[in-house]
Structure 1
Amino acid sequence: MKYSLQHFTGAVCLSFWIGFQPGLNAQSIALAEVPLHPRTQETQVQTQSLIGALKNLEQRYDVTFTYMSDLLQGKQVAVGEYTGEDLEQALGELLRNTDLSFHKVNKHYYAITPKPLPRKEQSELVPPLPRLHARSSPQLAQLRPQSVMQVITGKVVDETGEGIPGVNILEKGTSNGTITDIEGQFSLNVGDGATLVISAVGYLSKEVPVGNQTSLSIQLEDDVKALDEVVVVGYGTERRKDLTGSVASIGAESFNTGVVVAPEQLMQGKVAGVNIVQNSGQPGAASTVRIRGENSISAGNDPLYVIDGVPLQFGSDNMFVSSTQGSSPFASQATNPLNTLNPADIESIDVLKDASATAIYGSRGANGVIVITTKSKKANETITYDAFVGMSAVRKTLPVLSASEYRAYAESNGLQYPDEGANTDWQDEIFRTAISQNHNIAFGGGTTTSNYRASVGYTSQEGVILSSGLEKYTGRLNASHKAFDGKLRIGTNLTYGRINEDNTPISSNINNEGGNILKDAIRWAPTLPVYNADGSYYQLGELRINPVSWVDVDDERYTGFFLGSGDVAFDIIDGLTFKLNGGYSDASTDRYTNLPATHPSGQSQNGRVTIAKGRNYSTLFESTLTYNKELGSNTSLTLLGGYSFQRFVSEGTFSEANNFVSSFVKWNLMQSGETRANTSFKEANRLESVFGRLNLRLLDRYLFTATLRNDGSSRFGENYRRGWFPSGAFAWRISDEPFFQSAVVSNLKLRTGYGITGNQEIPNNLYRQQLSISGSAVYVLGGQAIPSVLPTNFANPNLRWESTSQLNVGIDLGFLNERFSATIDYYRKHTSDLLLAFSTIAPSVVETQWANVGEVQNQGIEVALNATLVQSKDFTWSANVNFSRNRNEVLSLSNDEFTRTEIRNAPVSGVVSNGARTQIIRPGLPLGTFYGRQFTGFDESGMETYLDADGDGQADEVVIGSAQPDFIYGISSSARWKNFDASITFRGVVGNDILNNTAAEFGYTNGAPGINILRSALDSPVSRDQIPQFSSRWLEDGSYLRLDNLNIGYTLNTTSIPFLKNARFYVTGQNLFVITGYTGYDPEVRANTNQGGAAPMGIDYLAYPRPRTFQLGGSFSF
């Protein structure tokens, strides 16, 4: 086995120290390494070697013991001598009748050393240090008298000020050394001008010149890379060094900071191959997450989320979003129940990207898997409190005409316009400085067998647009218990969150312009006032509404999410563990809208109210059997087998009424109005699975992984209800080969894997023939119209999940003991059996038929670079860079039975393209391809001209751009100088196009009287006779570089405050600047509207702008 430099240094230093003790010879050293998460417990026998007993404890408590083999050789323990429930209690019992003691290095490492002798015995038994050195080295004996010896005392502490036992203290260039005692203190006789080398497992080594000092205080920093050895994978954990697949991990210390509502925003810009787009700046709006590109056209593209072992399918693609929206008068950004999780409760996020890592989740693994692990009680943790307050403001406004410019423009063109003598900046009127605050309290406790961690959180976030914001309440309890000498382990995780949103009216519904505060703020003439003389809103009518008056319209949404899980694990025999896992999730969204009769938007209907309620809940039962076996030196086998059953239920209602006697009651008395709609639905689906995995580690350098899962889903036809999803992977750690010797390259591992995963995220019951009530086909009986029931689709017993095969080849590199590291992956994903809807042949009462037709391919490269640039006593500096390039291509839309040459999609609204489909799906092109007229300029009369390649006098429709970026990247860096710390994150996209439909809407000069325009419209030669057209004129380069996050903190020295363990104050800035050529509010956009559950990419039509935010906060532990 190859050990890290710290392991080796620690072992050597410990050998020398023990070698100085009477009767001991440091001839060999044993370092046992095991994963840091629970696995199995060795079976206790009647008699057992002390070494074997320690190995049992290593497996039971997931720790590593460092010791000299000679110290333990031949020592035996009897049954019952280490039955303590707590590790340190068990160690105490185990070593009670020996001449050994233990020292805790940190929560994962312990040193086994001889018991210290009384000072009198030491003086009698231990020879004076010069004589000891003379015995061991005659040359040293000749040199020592020439130098002045001095006694150095000191204490070694961690970053919290706690003493560290078992630290190796070595005089540089000699074998003279010692280790710290249980309180971190040491004493060592050194020569004149000595330098001490300080090292400990799990900490960064450092050198300290003694100089004229006789007493030293030394602080060591955690070696995050050394401790971060375990990653969470499907149904278990693995050492990072043993991974064969592509898995990225990010811990809480690296999360993005500031106003973060959604969990995925914690890792935005931090993980190669993961593109996270914040669809809107509206508080609570969902983000779009894509791992290695878009795989599907009609099914979901969101990854599977696994929270504390419970798989959940929530995201902007999920039907939960659209089913609860009904026919609300306002469109709004999708909501994600995951937003109800408290980011402060999350310990780590692991992203499973390739098939080797995701195949264990079978038909839900094609889009990748995001594993979220929440925090449990930490050692010595009692109470922590985190809080911040922040201010947000819009980063930029669109350059429309001022009042004076508007008057000059209108008068020069002979236009009639309303002029009340005002000079109103309508964007300034609807935007505001928004205040946010956040409070989190966590506390934990426990005994030797039980522990818990509980937390509560509160977030209040105002939006930068009037009448928008949210309040968020969260609570969590994680608890665990051990019994029967640690063989039985029980755990539970409970969380509930609720978000209350106040949404501002923003709509881009096609042919259903229910209201848009942004649109009205841009187009309203600046010559009009906000208020009349009597204080009422100045209005022009129902079609053009005073932007500020939209605050009188209600659009409220309440999202709740409960997640509970529990697991029971039992070690049946040595290495064999049986585990049961159960979970229940319940997500609900209630949305209420009110257009009062007193507002122009509701005058024609005498008030309009809607109520939409939706609920998704699921139950989970899983059982696994895991077998771990050490097969010899550095060789092990792990087998996992399991069964899973999960049931999902979706239900909802929608009600609408108008013509109210009074708008005062809003939605609380809908029966006082006339009912316009009253609908409901309920549907369910089930997933039953069996799965298995084999992990084989040969000689600690040849790694094999094989996975197989069989899924049965009720969403698919009877002929394809079950499917198999296999994968295999191999990794070779070349750096551990005997022939590989390098002082520079500390890690070199090659990885390759291939597997098949699926995608079942489609609406329920598509394989069945479904019926619906027709509003157009009616029968008249007795003078009364009777609606008919008609089929909406044909049955298809062959309907099945989309299948994605993926090849991954990667290399992991480490230099100078992981001070510099790199991970490079190439992948190729091929998705077949796409779920598409086809038009049926007339005559038929059914218009469409669903079938598995079509193929999409993604291939690309990912690079992640990490470096510790500076590492010294007072200053450390590290940096991380990730880069991803993905190429998406539609390969086919046809098969032997169904044929389709192209699909026109991405319809948008507005003056330019009201209902126009702006993108095309066609074999040979990527998803998100813009298709339309190629703008070539203006003719002499100011009319737009377009490409006409064939000269037929008609503008050609051609490919004019792509919303797919050439590559995405992220750059982050962190530094610490004494008590100050700082971190910064940049994020960027290169090469994508954006349809700036906002500019197109207000970029023509032929608008109606009283409509304002962009200042750029006056700079163009466009004629007022030009009819607005969708063309490449309105496509812009969407590339950008964003300073996403900047955090600067200061940690107080709390040693003089007895009740305070730690205190840190910080300031954070988010979205501080964006370097881009895009002229809209923000280049990070997707369309407002959902289309088949997914928002088209690269379309900006009046998107809620992302604000610039500053926070001031503090973190305290007691």
Structure 2
Amino acid sequence: MQTRDLVTNREKTNRFIMGGTANIDLYKAEKSNLELILRGGLDFYNLETIALFPKELQFQQPEQGGVDGVSVQGANSNKQYNLSAFLVHNYTASERLDFRTQLGITKEVFDRNSYLITATDLIASESNVDQAGNIGVNQFRLKQQDAGFFVQEEINFEDKLIAAIGVRGDRSSNNGDANQLYYYPKASLAANIHEFGLWEEDSFLNQLKLRAAYGEAGNFPSYGSLFTSYFASSTGGLSGISLLGTLGNPDLQPERQKEFETGIDIGLLNNRITASVTYYVKKVDDLILQAAKEPSSGFDSEFVNAGKLQNKGIEISLDATIAQSENFSWDAGINFFKNKSKITQLDIPAFNIGAFGATLGTFRIEEGQSATQIVGIGPNPGENGLQKFGDAEPDFQIGFNNNIKYDNFSLSFLWQWKKGGDNINLTNLLSDLNGTSHDFDTIDLDPDGQLGNGPYRVSQLGSSAKVFVQDASYIRLREIGLYYTLPSGVLDNFLGGTFSQIKLGFSGTNLINIFDYNSYDPEVSNFGSNGIFTGVEVTPFPSSKRYLFNVSFKF
């Protein structure tokens, strides 16, 4: 309660987002036309933060191990913009055959500058960071430029067969060679079976499409992985630099993703019911990994292209117009998706990554195994001395969305169900060590039925990581919104026709969460949105619920 009353923790964001498109007809003829499309976008924001922990706080007292007050202030300036230009040529060869040729160039720029000032041993609890006995400063700067081009040809035969073939070239300042272009081909073919006249036009089956596609894409190395970074240090009053422990690799190449997918689309009852099924296989070559280095090198790890990854999955969607009349409509949809990953090749020894070591549970990159497996010490270890306890990859996920309209009112909501997928829950351990776990005295984990859950989890520390790996399934009301559109008569009579539409509404996110996970929320990640080792929990704040009031105008 003292922390609640005395601590200050504020963030202020100023953000400006804009974009524009220009379509220019260069020429038009009876059977062909040429169009130039120009696009650009800008996202600019400033973030200011302040966190003040005054010296009056109990945990800031030096005799309690504190630092006599902390003032933390930071700022983040971020600018991102993109520019692109496209030439689109349409040519009608005959009534049955159409061609579309596209040529485009793109450029993206990312520029970020952030700093954080931490002041301790505050003088009279002043919030100014210069009014302190000790001051530390951290700064991070990022500059990245990506550029590329693409060429694509589309062929349409009577809307029965639609094919496309193309190639894209990309380069980035994050690649080992910033000027080298990497080329990625693609091709697709779709057959609209319903256009072949195999059944009557008024049949209940009005759409049947078969499709297949293959494409390649690149994933650039992360910023900073090319270079060996240093940080300033001081010893005996002499300034110098020290290594951060990660060796840069100036020869890094982008990861190459190769994906094949095939599927079917179906429409029934004048498309009041539509369904889509897609199966895909994605392979990633030149996988970028942060591999461990031998200690004698003076480094802990190094970024390398050293493996291959495979993802297989299926996506199924079903959408339906349940009711439709002049004043009432109800549209609903269900989306199901499932993915499984596997490290198919690893050119370096298997290694652990993420989390806090095998004692508490960690992720492991190992040939022939899932890329998101969770391992640790345990009573039945394998040849590597570790035992597998789970996997962060869900068994499947389902989304259920609805959009209901009555007159000028509309209600929309989205439920999400995540089945399976494990977290490494270390919040339990920390609360157990302090005797504050909500189930500390409950007896349902100890096979012998003697110890409470808290003492039992603590007893496993150093012998098995199993108790820290927990199922992270959940059902969640992801979004809900209720909106009202002002009638046209109100706009004309009282607002003089200035607006073509005014829409008012309330919305909320993350309002209902249903789960059996032993903490605040199973959707957590101590290490951000890293694709491999998400789902590590260490005393997070409870997930926030948002309530928004919305007003939109159209002129």
**Does the TM-score normalized on the shorter chain lie above 0.5?**
yes
Query: Is the Cα–Cα contact under 8 Å of residues 396 and 419 in structure 2 kept in the other structure?
Result: yes
Q: Tell me: CA distance 1:1034–1:983, structure 2 relative to 1, closer, same or farther (3 Å).
A: same
Q: 2:276 aligns with which of 804, 809, 823?
A: 823
SS in 1 for 2:93: strand
Does the aligned pair in 2 maintain the 1:928–1:1098 contact within 8 Å?
no
Instruction: Work out which of the residue numbers 757, 765, 772 in structure 1 matches 2:230.
Output: 772
Please name the residue that 1:919 is paired with.
363
Show the counterpart of 2:162. 703
Residues 1105 and 838 (structure 1), Cα distance of their counterparts in 2 relative to 1, 3 Å cut: closer
TM-score w.r.t. the length of structure 2 is 0.83
Whether the 8 Å CA contact 2:403–2:411 is kept in 1: the answer is yes
Mark the CA change 1:835 to 1:571 in structure 2 (over 3 Å): closer, same or farther.
Answer: same
Q: What CA distance in whole angstroms lies between the structure 2 residues aligned with 1:796 and 1:1073?
A: 46
Q: 1:875 to 1:689 in 2, by over 3 A?
A: closer
Distance change in 2, residues 1:830/1:819 (3 Å):
same
Distance in 2 separating the partners of 1:684 and 1:1048: 41
Q: How do 1:607-1006 and structure 2 match up within 5 A?
A: 607-664=69-126, 666-667=127-128, 670-718=129-177, 721-741=180-200, 743-764=203-224, 766-768=225-227, 770=228, 772-773=230-231, 775=233, 785-788=238-241, 796-841=249-294, 843-873=296-326, 875-894=328-347, 899-907=348-356, 916-933=360-377, 947-948=379-380, 957-976=386-405, 982-1003=411-432
Distance 1:642 1:979 in 2: 42
Superposed CA offset, 1:790-835 (max 9, x none)? 6966664431111110001011111121111111111111112121
Counterparts of 1:839 and 1:957, CA distance in 2: 18
1:621, 1:645 within 8 Å by CA — same for their partners in 2? Answer: yes
Q: Any unmatched runs of 5+ in structure 2?
A: 445-449
Q: Measure how far apart 1:703 and its partner are.
A: 0.7
Distance, in Å, in 1 between the alignment partners of 2:294 and 2:381 is 34
- Give the Cα separation in 1 of the matches to 2:75 and 2:490: 55
**Structure 1: distance between partners of 2:329 and 2:21:** 41
Shift of the alpha carbon at 1:873? 4.9
User: Which residue type is aligned with residue 152 of structure 2?
Assistant: R
Aligned partners of 1:681, 1:660: CA distance in 2, in Å? 25
State the TM-score, normalizing by the size of structure 1: 0.43
Deviations 1:354-397 (A, max 9, x none): xxxxxxxxxxxxxxxxxxxxxxxxxxxxxxxxxxxxxxxxxxxx
Give the aligned partner of residue 96 of structure 1: none
The whole-number CA distance in structure 2 between the counterparts of 1:772 and 1:1113 is 47
Q: Which amino acid aligns with 2:494?
A: F
Tell me the alpha carbon deviations over residues 1052-1107 of structure 1, each in whole angstroms, 9 at most, x when there is no partner: 87758832687887776755544433343333x1223448x669323344333346
Superposed displacement of residue 697, structure 1: 1.1
Distance of 2:156 and 2:251 partners within structure 1: 41
Contact 1:932 1:1031 in 2 (8 A): yes
Contact 1:745/1:816 (<8 A) preserved: yes
1:539-595 per-position Cα deviation (integer Å, ceiling 9, x unaligned): xxxxxxxx4424422233333333344444432211112244444433333332222
Match of 1:1039 among 473, 494, 507: 473
Secondary structure at 1:736's aligned position in 2? helix
Matching residue's letter, 2:230: S
SS state at 1:639 partner: strand
The one-letter code of the counterpart of 1:578 is L
| Residues 722 and 986 of structure 1: CA distance in aligned 2, closer, same or farther (over 3 Å) | same
CA distance in 2, matches of 1:759, 1:805: 11
Q: d(CA) in 2 for partners of 1:1079 and 1:738?
A: 58
Q: Which amino acid aligns with 2:164?
A: T
Residues 1:1086 and 2:535 are matched in the alignment: no
Structure that is richer in strand per residue: 2
What CA distance in whole angstroms lies between the structure 2 residues aligned with 1:1049 and 1:852?
A: 50
Q: 1:948 to 1:962 in 2, by over 3 A?
A: closer
Alpha carbons of 1:891 and 1:637: their partners in 2 closer, same or farther (altered >3 Å)? same
The Cα of 1:905 is off from its aligned counterpart by 2.3
Report the AA paired with residue 270 of structure 2: N
Task: Name 1:606's counterpart in structure 2.
Answer: 68
* Higher RCO, 1 vs 2 (CA within 8 Å, ≥6 residues apart): 1
Structure 1 residue 1019 and structure 2 residue 452: aligned?
A: no
Deviation at 1:1012, TM superposition (A): 3.4
- CA distance in structure 1 between the partners assigned to 2:528 and 2:335 by the alignment: 30
Q: Find the structure with the greater CA-based Rg.
A: 1
Deviation at 1:900, TM superposition (A): 1.7
* Cα distance in 1 for residues equivalent to 2:327 and 2:394: 41
Q: Percent identity?
A: 23
**Cα deviation per residue 1:615-667 (whole Å; 9 max; x = unaligned)?**
33244443322212222215322111122333333323333333332223x13
Partner Cα separation in structure 1 for residue 186 and residue 139 of structure 2: 42
Aligned-partner Cα distance in 2 for 1:1098–1:644:
35
Change (3 A) 1:558 1:978: closer
1:659/1:854 Cα in 2 relative to 1: closer, same or farther (>3 Å)? Answer: same
Contact 2:207 2:265 in 1 (8 A): yes
Q: Say what the alpha-carbon RMSD is for the aligned residues.
A: 3.6
Counterpart-to-counterpart distance in 1, 2:392 and 2:292: 27
Helix, strand or coil at the partner of 1:704: strand
Structure-2 change in CA distance of 1:720 and 1:1070 (3 Å): closer
Pairing partner for 1:1098 from 513, 535, 540: 535
Cα–Cα, structure 1 residues 698 and 646, in superposed 2: closer, same or farther, change >3 Å? same
Query: Structure 1: which 5+ runs fail to align?
Result: 1-546, 935-946
Q: Give the residue type in structure 1 aligned to 2:209.
A: K
1:680 deviation in Å? 3.6
Query: The residue matched to 2:296 in structure 1 has which SS?
Result: coil
Q: What amino acid sits opposite 1:756 in the alignment?
A: E
* SS class of match (1:707): strand
**For residues 839 and 970 of structure 1, do their structure 2 counterparts lie closer, same or farther at Cα, with a shift above 3 Å needed?**
closer
CA–CA separation in structure 1 for the residues paired with 2:255 and 2:504 = 50
Closer, same or farther: CA 1065–671 of 1 in aligned 2, 3 Å = closer
Q: CA deviation at 1:870?
A: 2.9
Whole-angstrom CA distance in 2 between matches of 1:654 and 1:564? 28
The question of 1:1059 aligning with 2:494 is answered: yes
Mapped contact 1:734–1:740 kept (Cα < 8 A): no
Of 577, 587, 597, which residue of structure 1 is paired with 2:55? Answer: 597
1:960-1005 residue CA offsets vs partner (Å, 9 max, x unmatched): 11121111001223344566654443220112223343334435xx
Amino acid at match of 1:1076: F
Contact preservation (8 Å) 1:720, 1:797? no
Q: Secondary structure at the match of 2:318?
A: strand
Matches within 5 A, 1:210-249: none
* Aligned equivalents of 2:162, 2:86: Cα separation in 1: 22
- Does the 8 Å CA contact 1:714/1:721 hold for their aligned counterparts? no
State yes or no: 1:570 paired with 2:7: no
- The answer to which structure has the higher helix fraction is 1
> Cα–Cα, structure 1 residues 1104 and 723, in superposed 2: closer, same or farther, change >3 Å?
same
Q: Cα deviation per residue 1:16-43 (whole Å; 9 max; x = unaligned)?
A: xxxxxxxxxxxxxxxxxxxxxxxxxxxx
The one-letter code sitting in structure 2 at the alignment partner of 1:799 is: L
Contact preservation (8 Å) 1:906, 1:1096: yes
| 8 Å CA contact retained: 1:1086, 1:1096 | no
What displacement does 1:711 show?
A: 1.3
Tell me the residue number matched to 1:1077: 516
